[in-house]
Structure 1
């Protein structure tokens, strides 16, 4: 079979590899579609601190089960599945309190273990989530990105009364817009970014108001309107954002951080306690695949608004370079395998 392998930073090849045999408790998935994520690019460029090389990248993938390992019901053969990349032990403290995404022995497909940018992938059977027939292939491959939004919103329980501010109109910001508007019916969702084309994508995804903070002060714009956000999501992931979010937030607001920057953030503690703000962080997803599959079945979200390009997997280098360089026109890039 063919697999996309990052041998070392900046060295990506398509290798011939043996067809995997599923171990006990595993299934083999014949991959049909996979999505490119920023973390795939970071592994390729050597900027992901968790990755080990060589690595078959890819943690957003969909396909059909074509083999099962010992202990797995053969009735699963032929099932259409989207794969949850979070592999957890199920019994550590974190798992016991509903946070398998930060399991003590966390393994993420495509990061710690070979992932889905391959013609076939062996994965734990419990991680291969059944996709109902009513959900199309290209929507099924988008389940994982939307689980990021499901995890974020699961922390903060949005309401229709919220005024939400989202920093960043990249894929993670856009899935969060869709969740807030389509699922939670939040009254007002504001998106801030410095790229006009991305802000247009945010409007198409349901944002009520977009602001380009590259040429104007976000605080001045919000102050002029008398707006104090009650929910702020940092999907831009810059260390300076936290203090600005604290300043802009309404008393009693919730702030969610999604970034992995190793640079320190300078904050004034009084701003947090004076308003009794709640600050959350969100990593990966904690059993959110069923949540997003339900959203898709009910038509509450629309992945088509994010998918901008599709490539054959043999063109993966071109696909990643487009994803990295064309932030004006490119949002979600899919790879086809069969």
Structure 2
């Protein structure tokens, strides 16, 4: 079968590889689409500490069951499914106390074992969720990152009519904004340095600030009469956003760390004290939240469609990361068409 394989740092190859061996209590899935995640970019850049070549990448996928090997949960050939890709140990303290999504040795399909940018994969049936018939395959491929946004709103304790700032207009930032809009946010501001991405945000109805040209801190201060915003979602992972986030959150405001920072950052902890702000982390999602994203996606599919900017056939996907890293090409969410 065909697969997009991480061969070595900065190199992926479309290879003919053996079909995966059947797993017990599992489904053989014929892949349809698989999204490219920022984690995949880090893997191919040689910056992920666990991903070891050769590796079939991809954890944001949708496909159709072709075969079942055992199973008691009612799945059958022909079902369209997405998969909860987290692999928890089951024995560490987080796993024992009901938070296996932050397992001390958390692993993922597509990082620690072969993933979805391929013709086929075997996935345990306990990880599978059926996709609603009303949802297209393209949008179903966004369920995994949508679950990240769902988790962030829960961690931020978002309430109806809260105002929100999102730093970073990547896929997670925009998906977070979409969920906020559909959940009753009174105001949504997104910052970034990419004009094309910010144009997508404006098309979705959000206020935007290009921080290359203007100060987000000043914009929030001017438009809130110095009071600040209720919730800040830091989705960029950059140092300037870490420096600004306590300045743009109001007294008693919430700051949710959705993006993963790869290095220590300077944060003004005085603001946390003097303004009694709350700073909370958010990591992936629980299985329950993944299921919520599966059920929620059909309700917001029109907005989700605007997040997909490119679809690349699997057989022509060797240059996909060069395209994503090309500043002349506007990309938001790129999908691999595993059937082409």
Q: Into which bin does the TM-score normalised by the smaller protein fall?
A: over 0.9
Cα distance in 1 for partners of 2:87, 2:70 equals 18
Report what 1:40 is aligned to.
40
Alpha carbons of 1:250 and 1:301: their partners in 2 closer, same or farther (altered >3 Å)? farther
Q: Structure 1 residues 93, 121: CA separation in 2 closer, same or farther (over 3 Å shift)?
A: same
Map 1:48-197 onto structure 2 (within 5 A).
48-72=48-72, 75-182=75-182, 184-197=183-196
Shift in Å at residue 266 of structure 1? 1.9
Cα deviation, 1:257-283, whole Å, max 9, x if unaligned, reads 133333221233221122221111222
| Ranges in structure 1 where 5+ consecutive residues have no aligned partner | none
Q: Say whether the 8 Å CA contact 1:22–1:67 is kept in structure 2.
A: no
Question: Residue 96 of structure 1: CA displacement?
Answer: 4.2
TM-superposed CA distance for 1:109, in Å, is: 0.8
Q: Secondary structure at the match of 1:31?
A: strand
Contact 1:8 1:46 survives alignment (8 Å): yes
Q: How many residues align?
A: 336
* TM-score normalised by the chain length of structure 2: 0.92
Counterpart of 2:82 in 1: which secondary structure?
A: strand
Aligned match of 1:222 in 204, 220, 223?
220
8 Å contact 1:163–1:188 — kept in the other structure? yes
Match of 2:209 among 208, 211, 216: 211
In 1: Cα distance, 2:192 partner to 2:229 partner? 16
Q: What displacement does 1:170 show?
A: 1.1
Cα offsets for 1:171-221 (capped at 9, x unmatched): 111000101001x110000011122211111122331x1111111222222
SS in 2 for 1:256: strand
Instruction: Render the CA deviation track for 1:87-114: whole Å, top value 9, x for unaligned.
Output: 2244533234443222133220111111
Distance 1:24 1:278, change over 3 A: same
Match of 1:302 in 2: 303
Take 2:208 and 2:11, find their aligned partners in 1: how far apart are those partners? 38
| Corresponding position: 1:334 with 2:335 | yes
CA distance in 1, matches of 2:56, 2:28: 15
Q: 1:325 — aligned with what? A: 326
- Residues of 1 paired with 2:82 and 2:290: CA distance? 9
Q: Mark the CA change 1:265 to 1:105 in structure 2 (over 3 Å): closer, same or farther.
A: closer
**TM-aligned CA distance change 1:234 to 1:301, over 3 Å:** farther
CA contact (8 A) 2:233 2:255 kept: yes
| Residue 119 of structure 1: how far off its partner (Å) | 0.4
In 1, the alpha carbon distance for the partners of 2:147 and 2:202 equals 21
* Maintained 8 Å contact 1:169/1:201: no
Q: Deviations over 1:40-61 (max 9, x none)?
A: 1111111222322221101111
Q: Does the CA contact (< 8 Å) of 1:179 and 1:301 recur in 2?
A: no
Identify if the C-alpha distance between structure 1 residues 75 and 178 changes in structure 2 by more than 3 Å, giving closer, same or farther: closer
TM-aligned CA distance change 1:73 to 1:185, over 3 Å: closer
Which whole-Å CA distance do the structure 2 matches of 1:47 and 1:318 have between them?
19
Give the distance between the partners of 1:314 and 1:150, measured in 2 at CA: 33
**The residue matched to 2:46 in structure 1 has which SS?**
coil
SS in 2 for 1:77: coil
* Residues 204 and 99 of structure 1, relative CA distance in 2, 3 Å threshold: farther
**1:37 deviation in Å?**
1.3
The answer to whether the 8 A contact 1:235-1:258 is kept is yes
Tell me the alpha carbon deviations over residues 135-179 of structure 1, each in whole angstroms, 9 at most, x when there is no partner: 111111111111110111111121223110000111111000101
Q: Is the 8 A contact 2:75 2:125 kept in 1?
A: no
Tell me the distance in 2 between the aligned counterparts of 1:74 and 1:16: 32
Q: Does 1:235 align with 2:235?
A: yes
